[in-house]
Amino acid sequence: MNDKPYKYQVVRLKKEFFQSNPHSINMLDPGNPEKQMRRTYLYLDIQKDHYHYLIPFRSHLN
């Protein structure tokens, strides 16, 4: 059994994410990366065994 600890960090999605993932329809303005990248999307990135689990923060940061 692999008992490596979890790693975690807060990450912000960049323009490249929106361009590479146009199928992300659960965000505001789907299919419009220019408008999407103006918003601040912060996530808690939990890493375990080469997997990343992104948990969104919900807040009005702008």
pLDDT digits (tens, 9 = 90+) for 14-39: 777 777 777 766 666 777 777 777 77
What is the domain count for the chain? 1
pTM (whole model) above 0.85: no
Task: Please check whether residue 27 lies inside any domain of the structure.
Answer: yes
Distance CA 44, CA 54 (A): 6
Domain that holds residue 35: 7-47
User: Predicted confidence band at 8 (pLDDT cuts at 50, 70, 90)?
Assistant: very high
Task: Please check whether residue 17 lies inside any domain of the structure.
Answer: yes
Task: Please check whether residue 28 lies inside any domain of the structure.
Answer: yes
